[in-house]
Structure 1
Amino acid sequence: MQTAPSSAASLYDRVRRVIPPVEWPAFSEDIDAILALKRERNAIILAHNYQTPEIFHCVADIVGDSLSLARNAIKVEADIIVLAGVHFMAETAKLLNPDKTVLIPDLDAGCSLADSISAGDVRLMRQRYPGVPIVTYVNTSAAVKAESDICCTSGNALAVVRSLGAPRVIMLPDEYLAKNVATQTDVEIITWKGHCEVHERFTAADIRELREAHPGVTVLAHPECPPEVVAEADFAGSTAAMSDYVGQHRPARVVLMTECSMSDNVAVDHPEVDFIRPCNLCPHMKRITLVNIRAALEHNRHAVSINPKVEARARHAVERMLAV
């Protein structure tokens, strides 16, 4: 008697273009276990666009960029949220769901931007620029968010700056995001020297070489890239905006100047588009695996907690962002 196919087996068709058949057996057992654990524990998985396809397309319930994950986190009805992303994202989910259990599969899944600034640094900026509102990128710790007036993501940074109605704004910690926003507004933006270790490696010369090697290629860049990279690109936007661009314009050939897995995940939905893949990996995002997602659900590992002294203020900054 033939048995029914496993849940993992039924999902493989979706990702066969980006996961070779020889690799699938290494994933299928964990996928089946995770799907069962989610049902048993009333759990949901939120996955960032930089997660690998077997996570993004096979076990995640909600996917997207930081803004999308933040917006959707407040709509979650599950008892447990597993954040397949980095630590600041799990903290943000916890801020918005204080009564739920939020799990991060690997405590060392950090972020170079979050590490580039401390709460003390923000307080010193306030002293140096009294009365100037502080916009803090969500790629920061809860302690840093608590010292800011409002948060932003790459998807809404310009709207957040404009919403303040101020002639000067401090924008922390991503220097390149701040400079790229500054080109779109008359607001004076004071920056910080923080950089994403993935996006800072892209150069304008990389784009020119790609255009020479692949005539007619459409180049999309993330606004965490240096301004000269954004200037060379055909379009710049958040990971969600880049994905939407591909869906709306369907370029014959495209390159995404961002983390590697983004191209794989968008390619699943657009088999007609040829994706050129310059590969800059985020080592922190890649710490999240099916194995440790499964362990998180099996052992309640690792529950996120936020210092009560900063929680309410950090939540206010995030909620103020979501209201824009």
Structure 2
Amino acid sequence: MSQNLLQLHPLLSEEEMLREIERLRVERKAVILAHNYQRPEVQRIADFVGDSLGLARKAAETDAEVIVFAGVHFMAETAAVLNPSKTVLLPNLEAGCSLADTLTAADVRAWKAQNPDGLVVVYVNTTADVKAEADYCVTSGNAVQVVASLPEDRKIFFAPDMFLAAHVERQTGRKLDVWLGECHVHAGIRPEHIDAQRAEHPEAEFLIHPECGCASHAIYNFPDTPLLSTEGMIHHARRSEASAFIVVTETDMVHRLEQEVPGKTFIPVHRSARCEYMKMITLENVYETLRDLSNRVSVAPELAERALKPIERMIAIG
């Protein structure tokens, strides 16, 4: 279908749009990366679906000329830092992150000014300018390992997720200076949601993300339940003898689990656990972004150079 024909007939059927996305992917020498929390139809068109760490690794490895990042803004920024010579596109520039928005570079600098010998560990869910102030960048999958490896005589600022920080403190025995930020999706998962699903599905195992505000409730009431990154959920579900799992994170993680671990049942903890920002990415804006090479995300070279070191440490660990 020619560009002129597309302009004359902008309203494509889903089938036509999928064909155009495939054609443009080849024509643009593009790769499509999608986060676990994306809509199922967006996950299905991606070359790779994963968590923040997996997507960062794929962004670092790709030889594609164009990276279409079906995720949120800080993820596209990370890809841009890792690929300064490539075109990184975010299908909807409004796709932000409530957790990343809680912390600024000025907040980190203020802590560093008061703790000149301290170390700054930031979650990947942060902006590039925050990462540029950090010593280490982590994901939920390697945060415990990173903090456990740091010198015990150094003060540690851990930001911005307070629930992940609490998990790291429990696992490492380290006392951290914690920024009191939270993800609106995970904070909204309540103890009563967990209790209701356990009552309805007593045979099911829990898959609980450490960002959840209900994590302490789960640990106290179900002490054998591990807290797992999204990749950890997949590995655990594969190994487990259980046939049913209650998924305590964003609802569309269920789709990826169903694809990766067929034959088992995955139950979302609550239908309200939806990231409004992730859902801003649609097939339509993936198609339009590929068609027009629009919505480019870039990071200033000086800032990217400073942010690169903690990002590379994140990719290398865990």
TM-score w.r.t. the length of structure 2 is 0.90
Name the CA distance, whole Å, in 1 between partners of 2:218 and 2:23.
Answer: 43
Is the alpha carbon distance of 1:250 and 1:195 closer, same or farther for their aligned partners in structure 2, counting shifts above 3 Å? same
Which residue identity lines up with residue 32 of structure 1 in the other structure?
R
Residue 185 (structure 1) aligns with: 172
- Paired residue secondary structure (2:254): helix
Structure 2 alignment gaps of length 5 or more: 1-11
TM alignment of 1:189-268, pairs within 5 A? 189-226=176-213, 227-231=215-219, 232=221, 234-249=225-240, 251-268=242-259
Name the CA distance, whole Å, in 2 between partners of 1:218 and 1:26.
Answer: 40
Query: Displacement, 1:26?
Result: 5.5
Is the alpha carbon distance of 1:270 and 1:322 closer, same or farther for their aligned partners in structure 2, counting shifts above 3 Å? closer
Query: Displacement, 1:230?
Result: 4.6
Name the CA distance, whole Å, in 1 between partners of 2:110 and 2:63.
Answer: 39
Structure 1 alignment gaps of length 5 or more: 1-24
Name the CA distance, whole Å, in 1 between partners of 2:143 and 2:136.
Answer: 10
Which residue identity lines up with residue 228 of structure 1 in the other structure?
S
Name the CA distance, whole Å, in 2 between partners of 1:104 and 1:75.
Answer: 19
TM alignment of 1:15-26, pairs within 5 A? none
Is the alpha carbon distance of 1:241 and 1:27 closer, same or farther for their aligned partners in structure 2, counting shifts above 3 Å? farther
Percent identity for Structure 1 against Structure 2: 43
Match 2:41 to one of 48, 54, 75: 54
Name the CA distance, whole Å, in 2 between partners of 1:120 and 1:229.
Answer: 33
Aligned-residue CA RMSD in angstroms?
1.6
Which residue identity lines up with residue 82 of structure 2 in the other structure?
L
TM alignment of 1:62-77, pairs within 5 A? 62-77=48-63
Query: Displacement, 1:249?
Result: 1.4
TM-score w.r.t. the length of structure 1 is 0.88
Which residue identity lines up with residue 53 of structure 1 in the other structure?
P
Query: Displacement, 1:301?
Result: 1.2
What per-residue deviation string (whole Å, max 9, x for no partner) do you get for residues 133-191 of structure 1? 00011101000000111100111101111232234311110011001111001222110
Which residue identity lines up with residue 170 of structure 1 in the other structure?
F
* Equivalent residues of 2:65, 2:87 under 8 A apart: yes
Match 2:19 to one of 10, 17, 32: 32
* Equivalent residues of 2:38, 2:279 under 8 A apart: yes
Aligned length in residues: 299
* Equivalent residues of 1:113, 1:174 under 8 A apart: yes
What per-residue deviation string (whole Å, max 9, x for no partner) do you get for residues 265-288 of structure 1? 211343421222222100000000
